[in-house]
Amino acid sequence: MASITIRNLDDEVKELLRQLAAENDRSMEEQARVMIRAAVDGQIGPVGRLDQIEKALLELANSQGAPTVASALAVKNLPRGTLSNKRILLIIGGGIAAYKALDLIRRLRERGAAVRVVMTSAAQEFVTSLSVGALSADHVFTDMFDRNDEHDVGHIRLSREADLLVVAPATADLMAKLANGHANDLASTVLIATDKPVLMAPAMNPKMWSYPATRRNRATLGKDGITFVGPAKGEMAESNEAGEGRMSEPLEIIAAVEALLDAGPKPLAGRRIIVTSGPTHEPIDPVRYIANRSSGKQGHAIAAALARLGADVRLVSGPVSIADPAGVKTIHVERAQEMRDAVEQLLPADAAVFVAAVADWRTENSAGEKIKKVAGEGPPVLRMVENPDILAGVGHHERRPGLVVGFAAETQDLLRNAEAKLSKKGADIIVANDVSQTSGIGPSGVMGGDRNRVRIVSRTGIEEWPEMTKDEVAARLAALIAARLKTIVV
Ligand SMILES: Cc1cc2nc3c(=O)[nH]c(=O)nc-3n(C[C@H](O)[C@H](O)[C@H](O)COP(=O)(O)O)c2cc1C
């Protein structure tokens, strides 16, 4: 990381930094470097005075041309405290995903929410009430028959004093209890005694999630007005199994909380943004096609993240097996030519983000009937022709959006290819990701997996982002787009 000149900080921040450095037995420069690195690596932002120092350091580093801090600063500059004055009652169930509840508490508090926690007795097998209490900075409620708790707060007050009840992880057991009106412990009693909205983030093994009784309970709870976030598909934490049942990431849960309380920052309100996502299918005949491994997870996550920041998002999606993102208008297409036509019809727009893995080639003429295998004739010869280059088309379009972002999925020469793409395609930003099997990202790799490690290539330099979930990449990119659009006058 480039060094920054600390003496340019204002006196108050300099003094805070000096105290902090002394507490940690570091020089001020070292302390500054540690804090900037943590922010760039996407670690949870500090609160209070640390937050003030971190923001000042990022601003200073950015003004002194450090190439890697722009997106961290964009995230920092999103309005904070979106949940200030909101009271969340978090119920932690006994699932392996309980560890994610700790991060959820920090992130809720970081946004200004007051978080009170009820833990089931099974939950206490997975995380301790000591950690939960330290993070929530409040007493943790575990026992319905605790005389002190019942006298001081009482289960009815506990359930009513919150603005929202969040169950994370929501176990199969907790869902079954609530669907059937059981109230045999503090968590279930609080849940049926409340007059406030309830958000559930289920987490369980895919077999448990698809078990008929769980499906029935899910449907019943939906009808009873409970809102759900997730579960997602992916690898399970506890075994080598994969499927639907993974708890949504804390940021997704926060987005659902903000949506329910209508509280998120809306820096993209009034902006129209086109996003493409997924693969394209290029037909060979009516039953066969050429495709690629893109799942649409990253593009859909970006569309959702932009919508959460208030943008009017039009998503043009190739064939994928994931749901349309909430709050986004989705247009479904199959072929690259259809995707190009759909995108062109959506112009003008303030920004366009091309995440779709568009097939470079299609067959010159797809057969009208299924091509028959004829004995002795050998396989058919497929003549390929080039597909339209949607990114370049929009990058050089007369109605070009103010901000054009492309993705470069490469298996070799990542940065060289990304930099070449930037000028050739007329893009402002290229998000480069290594989709090779050796990328080191999870067993399923970037394509189809839930994680990504990207570099942001623009004319001002290259930002390297650490490995994160695709939702986190999406949230950070959306913040960066909001920051960039702010500087574009319409
Ligand atoms: C190691 C381990 C992991 C578990 N993970 C889950 C899980 O992810 N989801 C779930 O519904 N149940 C899970 N269970 C089962 C629950 O802990 C059990 O059903 C418990 O009664 C749930 O209690 P609660 O809903 O009151 O917290 C797990 C059990 C063990 C031993």
Which tens digit of pLDDT belongs to each residue from 164-181? Answer: 999 999 999 999 999 999
207 annotated as belonging to a binding site for a ligand: no
Is the per-residue pLDDT at 47 higher than 60? no
**178-194 pLDDT, tens digit each:** 999 999 999 999 999 99
CA of 108 to the centre of ligand 1 (A): 24
CATH-assigned architecture of domain 87-260 = 3-Layer(aba) Sandwich (3.40)
Q: How far apart are CA 319 and CA 302, in angstroms?
A: 17
What was the pLDDT predicted at 338? 98
126 is annotated as contributing to ligand binding? no
388 labelled as ligand-binding?
yes
CA of 60 to the centre of ligand 1 (A): 47
- pLDDT exceeds cutoff 50 at 420: yes
**Whether pLDDT at 1 is above 60:** no
Tokens coding 435: 């989709």
Domains 87-260 and 272-364+382-486 share a fold: yes
Q: Is 424 annotated as a binding residue?
A: no
- CATH code of domain 272-364+382-486: 3.40.50.10300
- Out of 221-225, 238-242, 449-453, the most confident range is 221-225
Q: Strand locations in 222-359, DSSP E?
A: 227-228, 232-235, 242-246, 272-277, 282-283, 289-290, 312-317, 329-332, 351-354
Q: Is the CB of 203 under 6 A from ligand 1?
A: yes
Contact 96, 203 (CB under 8 A): yes
Q: Which among 466, 460, 454, 467 has a CA at the least distance from the CA of 483?
A: 460
Residue bearing tokens 């366009």: 352
Q: What is the pLDDT of residue 321?
A: 86
Strand partners, 246: 232
Distance from residue 177's CA to the centre of ligand 1 (Å): 13
Q: What is the mean pLDDT of the chain?
A: 88
Q: Which atom of ligand 1 is nearest to the CA of 94?
A: 27
Q: Is the CB of 395 under 6 A from ligand 1?
A: no
Cα–Cα nearest to 229, from 193, 211, 255: 255
Structural domain boundaries in the chain = 87-260, 272-364+382-486
Do the beta carbons of residue 315 and residue 325 sit within 8 Å? Answer: yes
Selection from 61, 55, 76 nearest residue 2 by Cα: 61
- Give residue 386's pLDDT: 96
Ligand 1 pocket, residue 208 CB under 6 Å:
yes
Which one is catalytic: 292, 387, 433, 452?
292
Q: How many residues does the chain have?
A: 490
CA–CA gap between residue 241 and residue 215 (Å, rounded): 20
Whether the CB of 91 sits within 6 Å of ligand 1: no
Asked if residue 355 has pLDDT above 90, the reply is yes
- The confidence band for 437, taking pLDDT boundaries of 50, 70 and 90, is low
Q: Ligand 1 in contact with 449 (CB < 6 A)?
A: no
Mean pLDDT within 121-131: 95
Q: Mind listing the pLDDT tens digit for each residue in 247-266? A: 988 988 998 898 888 767 78
Task: Check pocket membership of 236 for ligand 1, CB cut-off 6 A.
Answer: no
Query: Would you state the pLDDT for residue 44?
Result: 47
Q: Is 292 a catalytic residue?
A: yes
Atom of ligand 1 nearest to the CA of 187: 26
Q: What is the mean pLDDT of residues 188-203?
A: 95
